[in-house]
Structure 1
């Protein structure tokens, strides 16, 4: 009978994505798990992980680990994207019941499709490490929106981290969080209209480059995108650029007819409410009120925590999803949707106009752009 303690294992890749944002620790500390093994192709990294996680058995080849140990849950920790498809598909083929995957999910919609198809065929639950989605503060934000505190939503705005990665890399690495939050507030997107430029000119095949960390093709030092949604008249705007000074605008702003909500990302992000239909705090205005897990204007009762706390919550939900045979709160379908929204910016730039979502062509738009130039 399938019951705890469940056999669990961790896949990492030292020097090539490592173990993500403490996905390994979230597995090691889960009381319903018995952590049986770790896999890492790097010998020194593998030894360090074994010691850190308190496991006796370790493997250079994760496939050998899956075959010999037969874990029921696996953390696929590497941040680098180039290994995600192969690792997730292998987990599904070896009978794993639940997988926690570091974001972003994969370089292309086709990769995401292959991962979800393998999981569906083997009845595997796949969860993505979008920590903000399980944050108790973000739950308060969604409740405020649903209760109409800021009135009907008119638009959402999000920006990347805009550090040295500003532009295409920022879009892929950090933009995935913002796209997921867009969907959490407004539902599934139906179209994207975007401009992607490099040095002030629209990108061409000459601007396409290989991204760092296995990201796949990238282009552009500035991205400006707008999204429409199937079930809402509101629109969402995402932008990232490579500024002269690093920005601190990473996060989400929700604009309604009667006010604004601002939230960062993570387990316990900073979040604020402004009850002002003009959308700015002026002399005599209501002022920004902090939002905590307890509500508006109340002290935060939870201890400060990082992404590990969010991943602990995601692991607990993944276990419940397997036990209850339901999708995880942050599922593989959510991970795929964020990738499609990201790549829709390139598809729109290449098409010279809006593109429909989900994307009909499952290949990478920048690969098609390079192919068109060669043809």
Structure 2
């Protein structure tokens, strides 16, 4: 068959990680690159020897002219929904986007609705699902190496939306994609951050309970984290710590003290090769991708439920209802996080 026609939207650093992996896949041919900066687009094209690729500064015009089968989008978060809407309308067969899904829960739901209505395969770059160490931990869990999973400690740098999405996705993958029943969260918004044009908290903590009874405590950012990223999984017969990229930390099997786990090295290049293979192979086979938007939506729902818990001062049950905005930003705009000495002044 002819190679899949691939176009890039956004030609920055993350696009380069995808391009490196794409060159290893013989099923694809890059036909276009698009960036607001023509210099960035030309430099990207030259660096990866995409010699026949057309260069565009307007991705809508690129979609109309080049008619790609697959789009790889590396845009900032607020641009994800309009990009996907344009791609779906143009008949693109698969869109792979950088995470997180979108800056509001309503936008996340709209992206999911568009994917269902159009049939366009939509994936998000939770590439760490393909880390060798994370694959190994999933295998241990299936084997019952640490017994029945009871609880998880979840860690990431700040913030919930841009960084926590990796940790929640990692936890969901370890817990057989089981959904969350309820969330109780708290955030520190007194020194807000700005990540890819979305304002966010500098620290968050919370408790989650999954539908199968597994409990999880989460901390993103702030002092005194005993893991910088990743998950500590506690089972009935042991425990294991694994960071985002699959590096195994402490691990124990209680009745087998001599057990020493195989240590998997972190390999981002291999992760990205897994991403591209997942996108293309799923499109070929017509199957649900490992990086499906449905899985990203579950992680996003946890994030927005944490924010809504702060707004309600209450525990929030899932599925998340009655929310379409970003509760953290609404609270920030309302002055909710002003230092105590300044409130009511």
Does the TM-score normalized on the shorter chain lie above 0.5?
yes
**In 2: Cα distance, 1:21 partner to 1:185 partner:** 29
- Within 5 A, what are the aligned runs for 1:149-228? 149-161=145-157, 166=158, 170-186=159-175, 187-198=178-189, 207=190, 209=192, 211-215=194-198, 217-219=199-201, 221-228=202-209
Residue 291 of structure 1 is matched in structure 2 by 262
SS in 1 for 2:139: helix
Alpha-carbon offset, residue 4 of structure 1: 4.1
Indicate whether 1:251 and 2:230 are aligned. yes
- Provide closer, same or farther for how the CA distance between residues 256 and 241 of structure 1 changes in structure 2, counting only shifts above 3 A: same
1:180-230 Cα offsets, whole Å, 9 max, x none, are 0121122111210112235xxxxxxxx485723122x423x3311111111
Q: Is the 8 A contact 2:162 2:195 kept in 1?
A: no
Moved more, 147-156 or 306-315: 306-315
Q: Unmatched 5+ residue regions in structure 2? A: 337-345
Q: Is the 8 A contact 1:12 1:39 kept in 2?
A: yes
**In 1: Cα distance, 2:266 partner to 2:150 partner:** 32
Residue 77 of structure 1 is matched in structure 2 by 74
Instruction: Select which of 346, 355, 365 maps to 2:316.
Output: 355
After TM superposition, where is structure 1 displaced by more than 6 Å over at least 4 residues in a row?
Answer: 371-374
Aligned length: 331
Alpha-carbon offset, residue 370 of structure 1: 5.5
SS in 2 for 1:233: coil
Indicate whether 1:337 and 2:291 are aligned. no
TM-score (norm 2): 0.87
Alpha-carbon offset, residue 271 of structure 1: 5.2
SS in 2 for 1:19: helix
Residue 98 of structure 1 is matched in structure 2 by 94
Instruction: Select which of 133, 136, 141 maps to 1:140.
Output: 136
1:121-162 Cα offsets, whole Å, 9 max, x none, are 22111121112212333222112112222111111011113x
Alpha-carbon offset, residue 368 of structure 1: 4.1
Q: Is the 8 A contact 1:194 1:348 kept in 2?
A: yes
The alignment's C-alpha RMSD in Å is: 2.5
Q: Is the 8 A contact 2:200 2:329 kept in 1?
A: no
1:288-312 Cα offsets, whole Å, 9 max, x none, are 72334xxxxxxx6xxx663232121
- Provide closer, same or farther for how the CA distance between residues 264 and 84 of structure 1 changes in structure 2, counting only shifts above 3 A: same
- Provide closer, same or farther for how the CA distance between residues 318 and 52 of structure 1 changes in structure 2, counting only shifts above 3 A: same
**In 1: Cα distance, 2:288 partner to 2:173 partner:** 15
**In 1: Cα distance, 2:141 partner to 2:166 partner:** 19
Q: Is the 8 A contact 2:155 2:227 kept in 1?
A: no
**In 2: Cα distance, 1:334 partner to 1:156 partner:** 19
Instruction: Select which of 50, 53, 61 maps to 2:48.
Output: 53
Residue 295 of structure 1 is matched in structure 2 by none
- Provide closer, same or farther for how the CA distance between residues 30 and 149 of structure 1 changes in structure 2, counting only shifts above 3 A: same
Residue 296 of structure 1 is matched in structure 2 by none
Indicate whether 1:234 and 2:201 are aligned. no
SS in 1 for 2:62: helix
Residue 281 of structure 1 is matched in structure 2 by none
Q: Is the 8 A contact 2:156 2:163 kept in 1?
A: yes
Alpha-carbon offset, residue 13 of structure 1: 4.8
Q: Is the 8 A contact 1:158 1:239 kept in 2?
A: yes
Q: Is the 8 A contact 1:24 1:77 kept in 2?
A: no
Alpha-carbon offset, residue 35 of structure 1: 1.0
**In 1: Cα distance, 2:227 partner to 2:39 partner:** 36
**In 2: Cα distance, 1:66 partner to 1:126 partner:** 16
Alpha-carbon offset, residue 10 of structure 1: 1.0
1:223-261 Cα offsets, whole Å, 9 max, x none, are 11111111x1110111023338x9752111100121101
Q: Is the 8 A contact 2:11 2:44 kept in 1?
A: no
